Amino acid sequence: MAQASAQRVEKNEAGEVAIQLLGVNKWYGEFHVLRDINLSVDRGERIVICGPSGSGKSTLIRCINRLEEHQSGQIIVDGNELTNDLKRIDEVRREVGMVFQHFNLFPHLTVLENCTLAPIWVRKMSKADAEAAAMKYLTRVKIPEQANKYPGQLSGGQQQRVAIARSLCMNPKIMLFDEPTSALDPEMIKEVLEVMVDLAQSGMTMICVTHEMGFARQVANRVIFMDQGQIIEQNSPVEFFNNPKSERTKLFLSQILH
């Protein structure tokens, strides 16, 4: 309750800052996964996070929509501070879409039902409106013809595009991507990246955990390198790739760029 007064403070700046992390720390038991994370993301900004496996990238973006709890520091998303207050968590989740590595589509529902579920139950849209919106986004990710199939009947790339459309149907202000292409075959990666580039160009605020450096160069405003739970380096993509400052970044880049 001590922080209650601080909860709405950031709302004034909400026009500018979409996400703010202040001195965030998180532990899994004794293991310190996130160490003193400070990060501010402006509206419309596109951020790519990379780093070695186990460095805490997933944990970091999962904290942003409270799929994981942080233990100290502040996370303020769209003017709402994430605490145990369920109402505020719901508010944040309504505005933040998330795309997972393994798609996590609902296998018992058709593609269309996957897309309309949350708008109907969370946004209280009418079924007809929700379906119209869903078809709009399915067209945008170029698979309107699959609307009545079940996820299991689609290829991996198509499934991931459905997952993106499903998030977009909630009309989120912020999109989080956790390695959206790393479970896909090379020829499918391209179709998913195209959709993400399109989304980036529309001005969506995005945080992507990915190792697709081409994508980072093309759309990112900023690339963040994490290692062992800390942000080691952040810079514009050009600087980051051409002129990495820290030794760890250099080592990492030499490994993934061959």
Ligand X SMILES: Nc1ncnc2c1ncn2[C@@H]1O[C@H](COP(=O)(O)OP(=O)(O)OP(=O)(O)O)[C@@H](O)[C@H]1O
Residue 102 CB neighbours (<10 A):
14
Task: Determine the interface stretch with ligand X among 27-35, 126-134, 156-164, 232-240 (rule: CB under 6 A).
Answer: 27-35
Chain positions 58 to 87 lying near ligand X, rule: CB under 6 A, are 58-59
Q: Angle 111-121/127-140 helices, nearest 10 degrees?
A: 130
Please give the span between the terminal C-alpha atoms of the chain, in angstroms, as a whole number: 51
- Binder of ligand X out of 17, 18, 19, 33 (CB under 6 A): 33
CA 142 to chain CA centroid, Å, is 21
Report the nearest approach of ligand X to the CB of residue 62 (Å).
8
What secondary structure letter does DSSP report for 202? T
Pick what 53 binds: another protein, ligand X, Mg ion, none; C-beta below 5 to 8 Å, kind-dependent: ligand X
Helix (H, G, I), strand (E, B) or coil at 225: strand
CA distance 231 to 258: 23
Task: Determine the interface stretch with ligand X among 16-24, 47-55, 139-147, 250-258 (rule: CB under 6 A).
Answer: 47-55
Pick what 59 binds: Mg ion, ligand X, another protein, none; C-beta below 5 to 8 Å, kind-dependent: ligand X
Q: Are 227 and 33 in contact (CB under 8 A)?
A: no
By CB under 6 A, residue 56 contacts ligand X: yes
By CB under 6 A, residue 256 contacts ligand X: no
Token pair for 82: 């994430």
Report the nearest approach of Mg ion to the CB of residue 56 (Å).
9
Report the nearest approach of another protein to the CB of residue 247 (Å).
35
Binding site for another protein (CB under 8 A): 65, 67, 86-87, 90, 93-94, 96-98, 100, 102, 104-108, 117-118, 121-122, 150-153, 163, 166-167, 170
Q: Which residue has the tokens 């963040």?
A: 224
Q: Are 180 and 192 in contact (CB under 8 A)?
A: yes
Pick what 102 binds: Mg ion, another protein, ligand X, none; C-beta below 5 to 8 Å, kind-dependent: another protein
CA distance 108 to 236: 42
Residues that bind ligand X (CB under 6 A): 28, 31, 33, 51, 53-59
